Structure 1
Amino acid sequence: MTTNRSPAGSSRRLVASTLVLLPSLAIAACAPRADRGMTLAPGKLRIGTYFVNPPFEYVVDGRRIGFEVDLMNDLARRLALAPEFVDTRWETILQEMQEGRYDCIVGGITITPQRERTLAWSTPYMTTTLSLVIDVRRSPRIRDIADLRTALVGVQAATTDYDIAVAMKARGEIGSIKVYPFAEIGQAMVDLAAGRITAVMKVHPVAAWLARRTPGLRIVAQVPNDPQPLGIGLAKSNAALLAAINGALADLRQDGTYDRLSRKWDAV
């Protein structure tokens, strides 16, 4: 996992450095860095995401929860900003960020060279892998990627999962691909358990979370040589917010917050 560490307390100094020196400390404390144009609205961090991506972000009993929800809440607090989550769709979120609708976006998004051409990205808060899930009751002989040469593999549309599956199919490593809309990864697991597909490929924390909830589903292998660095996307023009977020990420790693959240959500 690659991180860009900065001295402890750097994000707090970023916020403190913007305070106007007024006689009243109470007034000064209400002037976060956002008041200097770092965010779309003073005092707020507008975050684009989609709540269909457990354990990163999802909805239970009307509550928005998940590893990245807690992560972004903590980052916003360190920057003296109020987090505001905006629910959108994977199919549009990258373009919407380019259009300036959010201060940042998050959602288990892999940093790729193509995405770096259009958006700025934080240092990765997690580097994970793609996992292949099978139903061990229906496919007891599948024990590794080498056993998937004739398999029908389910992936989400317009993701790195899809891109890598296409490359694997071209190399003869898998048989064929079934593409699901991003929000229907749960349906892929239903199809897997019903025997309509042979495997599902998904970034590890999501694959593990979903597999644990269906009897018989197991991760059989990790895709080699394709690490998935996950980051927070921002406008290329917003260097100040990027630096502030990277500083806060470094702080929460150093003080143990990141490890605590990872354990809470079983996100590693």
Structure 2
Amino acid sequence: MKHLFAALVGVGLALAAPSAAEAKDWQTVTIATEGAYEPWNLTKPDGTLDGFEIDLGKDLCARMHLTCTFVAQSWDGMIAGLNAGKFDILMDGIAITDDRSKVVDFSKPYASTPGGFAGLKDGPLATMAGTGTQVVLTGDKTHDKPVIDAFRAALKGKRIGIQASTSFTKFVEDNFGDVAEVVEYKTAPEHDLDVTAGRVDVAFDDVTYFVSAFSKPENSDMMLVGPKIAGPIWGPGEAAAFRKSDPELRAKFDEALAAALADGTVKTLSLKWFKLDVTPVGG
């Protein structure tokens, strides 16, 4: 069996190309998600998984005529687990980046969302310039410098919470690590807890995550501070991840995703879970 083979030979051989017969034998698929990054994915009180990516994954599996099982996996072991054969697809609000593309293959993006800072409504950063607006960062230092400098001035001497090993972690550390203290957390809810407790001044994460987080009673004192950050700096968007040895599975997924984008299913699920359309431009 494919899972047993991958588990036995380890990560190195799991990345090797499968045989032609094996490549065509996709009937069941295991999809890993964090189950703790609401509304992208969440764990309900009864232990079942739900959220935008769960709904989307179920729709795509039906289109692919595959039996899919969803499992929860902590973010810090997710890519390693995929390449070790523990599961076949990752759906966890994963942004496509050059570094990640070296070790996994990505589907077409199914979302493109801005990032932003969140702090307390009565905190010193609640009136940060640009709050309620959105800026675009291109990744070009000359273009982006005035915006980054404004953030640096506002965040000087502050403590910034960030979930470890995300596409946002390097951005925060590279741009603010020399003027502020960056505190890393295993999960996003942990940085929210420290914002509300006053242990960090702000947290940085996906805006769609924060909009959902703010609806919880324990986070009712939080708000977005400063402008939301959108644009090419975040890459093409969020997508599913696959082993490089499984191009045929990725192709099946892309075909189903293209159909779901074309018929409006992705937009409908986006509006259901995020209350806004996060489908990629051109999607």
Name the TM-score class by shorter chain.
0.7 to 0.9
Superposed CA offset, 1:196-230 (max 9, x none): 21100012211221123222311122235522511
Between the aligned partners of 1:206 and 1:224, the Cα distance in structure 2 is: 14
Q: Is residue 138–residue 195 contact of structure 1 (8 Å, CA) maintained in 2?
A: no
Between the aligned partners of 1:158 and 1:88, the Cα distance in structure 2 is: 15
Between the aligned partners of 1:177 and 1:96, the Cα distance in structure 2 is: 27
Within 5 Å, give how 1:1-268 maps onto structure 2: 37-38=22-23, 42-62=26-46, 63-139=48-124, 140-144=126-130, 145=151, 146-170=153-177, 174-182=179-187, 185-213=188-216, 214-220=219-225, 221-223=227-229, 226-227=233-234, 229-266=237-274, 268=278
Match of 1:7 in 2: none
SS at match of 1:123: coil
Between the aligned partners of 1:253 and 1:153, the Cα distance in structure 2 is: 36
Q: Is residue 192–residue 200 contact of structure 1 (8 Å, CA) maintained in 2?
A: yes
Residue identity matched to 1:136: K
Which one is further off, 155-164 or 206-215? 206-215
Number of aligned residue pairs: give it.
229
Deviation at 1:38, TM superposition (A): 4.5
Residue identity matched to 2:27: G
List structure 1 segments (4+ residues) > 3 angstroms apart after TM superposition.
36-39
Q: Is residue 142–residue 148 contact of structure 1 (8 Å, CA) maintained in 2?
A: no
Between the aligned partners of 1:94 and 1:126, the Cα distance in structure 2 is: 20
Unaligned regions of 5+ residues in structure 2, if any? 1-20, 131-150, 279-283
SS at match of 2:95: coil
Q: Is residue 161–residue 203 contact of structure 2 (8 Å, CA) maintained in 1?
A: yes
Which one is further off, 144-153 or 60-69? 144-153
Deviation at 1:126, TM superposition (A): 0.8
Q: Is residue 26–residue 249 contact of structure 2 (8 Å, CA) maintained in 1?
A: no
TM-score (norm 2): 0.75
TM-score (norm 1): 0.79
Match of 1:13 in 2: none
Residue identity matched to 2:209: V
Identity, in percent, stands at 23
Between the aligned partners of 1:112 and 1:38, the Cα distance in structure 2 is: 26
CA pair 69-224 structure 1, distance change in 2 beyond 3 A: closer
Unaligned regions of 5+ residues in structure 1, if any? 1-35
Residue identity matched to 2:168: D
SS at match of 2:43: strand
Q: Is residue 115–residue 207 contact of structure 2 (8 Å, CA) maintained in 1?
A: yes
Superposed CA offset, 1:140-168 (max 9, x none): 33334352223211001122222111111
Alignment RMSD, CA only? 2.1
Match of 2:146 in 1: none
SS at match of 2:204: strand
Between the aligned partners of 1:38 and 1:263, the Cα distance in structure 2 is: 35
Residue identity matched to 1:233: A
CA pair 141-256 structure 1, distance change in 2 beyond 3 A: closer
